[in-house]
Structure 1
Amino acid sequence: LHQPEEDQQILPNAMQQQQHQQQQALAALGSSPLVGFGGSIMGTPQRSMHTYAPTASFSTPQQMMQPQTPQNLMSPMITSGSLAGQQMLSQASPAPMTPMTPHSADPGILPQLQNIVSTVNLNCKLDLKKIALHARNAEYNPKRFAAVIMRIREPRTTALIFSSGKMVCTGAKSEEDSRLAARKYARIIQKLGFTAKFLDFKIQNMVESCDVKFPIRLEGLVLTHG
């Protein structure tokens, strides 16, 4: 058999060792951070683009050109947290309180009506001299006051009767008494021969009094609110 020479046997072994060393060097270089990073960038561009794609916190130029509201810029977690906080605040806030009136503060303070002033239109011209001469409890002094002053006992009131047909009733303690007294005065005028009617009855003023159960400093009120 023909055996290769010694030089020919050494050459393949040396080439195999050199290739093995090159493979180890390439493996070492491939495992280094720099080469691996570059290899990943150059080898897989799709992955790098996907990794650095715009997220919710980064806006593209097209998105920046569109009008955005603060709700759109906020993340869902923050929005839900803010909504939960608003709900907690709304639940914790007390209901609006109604202002207290003196009646609800102290039931003992009850105002009482003392005088009611009402007006009525009899809708006819009146002869005040004739009324003063023929009606009871009536007085007329044109130099002093240009109206007939008439009084009745039930309800205890006073009426001022003018020649134009207007009448003012004072002294009643309630609205019903004021209306009743005005009707009685109108009936008296009708009995004297006038075509009096009962029109436009209206309460003009009401006077009440009550005990507040504490002293009132009038000078302080004038200086503060005068």
Structure 2
Amino acid sequence: MVTTITEWYRNVVVTATTGCRLDLQLISTHARNAEYNPKRFAAVIMRIREPKTTALIFASGKMVVTGAKAQRDAWTACRKFSRILQKLGFSTEIADFKVQNIVSSFDCKFPIRLEGIALAKFGSVSYEPELFPGLVYRVQIPKVVVLMFASGKVVLTGAKSKDDIYRAFSAIWPWLQGFRVIHDKSISQTNGH
């Protein structure tokens, strides 16, 4: 059973601006852990180890940072990317910091009867196993999309805050428990399995 936040895995995606235009060619040739191929993508891809994150840095000064485990880590990463740019001579200052998406996942530690949830018609549920193995549930408040898999793995995406994740989890946890697959050993033993 999921009982603590340590059992959750997250990816926080944020955007921010540096407050100045950037020379991407200069950044890619002088910064470590930076790559730039303008024919393939219009941004420098830069990585740092702590917190382990990746930034897409655009000439306009806009930045997308992904890979952080928490909003605080995403802010720290933005500041570190900004410092790297400052060392290259750019007059950067982080502004317009905004969480765009938080993706969270966890394992219920038990299998789930997805067909049962789909047949119960709980709100906005979509389950088409021939197209996608997971059940898709759209929580309205907060606006979060939940992907549930028969294995018991669950992914929540579209959240803007940790509170959104907790509220969506609170909405789905009773279903997950109510539609858990219970293995009856006495039945499987009598069938010779």
Equivalent position of 1:108 in the other structure: 3
Equivalent position of 1:166 in the other structure: 62
8 Å Cα contact 1:109-1:211 kept in structure 2: no
8 Å Cα contact 2:20-2:92 kept in structure 1: yes
Q: Which has the higher helix share?
A: 1
Give me the identity figure in percent.
60
Alignment root-mean-square deviation, CA: 2.0
Equivalent position of 1:205 in the other structure: 101
Equivalent position of 1:98 in the other structure: none
- Output aligned runs, 1:80-95, within 5 Å: none
The letter of the residue matching 1:171 is G
3-state DSSP of counterpart to 1:117: strand
C-alpha deviation, 1:218, in angstroms: 4.5
8 Å Cα contact 1:113-1:206 kept in structure 2: no
Larger Rg: 1
1:215 and 1:126, CA in 2 relative to 1: closer, same or farther beyond 3 A?
Answer: same
8 Å Cα contact 1:109-1:210 kept in structure 2: no
What is the CA–CA distance in structure 2 between the aligned matches of 1:213 and 1:221, rounded to whole Å?
A: 18
Aligned pairs, number: 121
The letter of the residue matching 1:117 is V
Normalising by structure 1, we get a TM-score of: 0.49
In the alignment, does 2:70 pair up with 1:178? no
What is the CA–CA distance in structure 2 between the aligned matches of 1:167 and 1:131, rounded to whole Å?
A: 13
Q: What are structure 2's unaligned runs of at least 5 residues?
A: 127-193
Equivalent position of 1:192 in the other structure: 88
What is the CA–CA distance in structure 2 between the aligned matches of 1:123 and 1:137, rounded to whole Å?
A: 22
1:213 and 1:187, CA in 2 relative to 1: closer, same or farther beyond 3 A?
Answer: same
Normalising by structure 2, we get a TM-score of: 0.57
- Output aligned runs, 1:15-164, within 5 Å: 108=3, 110=5, 112-164=8-60
8 Å Cα contact 2:2-2:108 kept in structure 1: no
What is the CA–CA distance in structure 1 between the aligned matches of 2:97 and 2:45, rounded to whole Å?
A: 19
Q: Which has the higher strand share?
A: 2
1:217 and 1:145, CA in 2 relative to 1: closer, same or farther beyond 3 A?
Answer: farther
C-alpha deviation, 1:211, in angstroms: 2.0
The letter of the residue matching 1:108 is T
C-alpha deviation, 1:108, in angstroms: 3.0
Deviations 1:163-199 (A, max 9, x none): 1000011101111111101100001111111111111
Q: What are structure 1's unaligned runs of at least 5 residues?
A: 1-105
C-alpha deviation, 1:214, in angstroms: 2.8
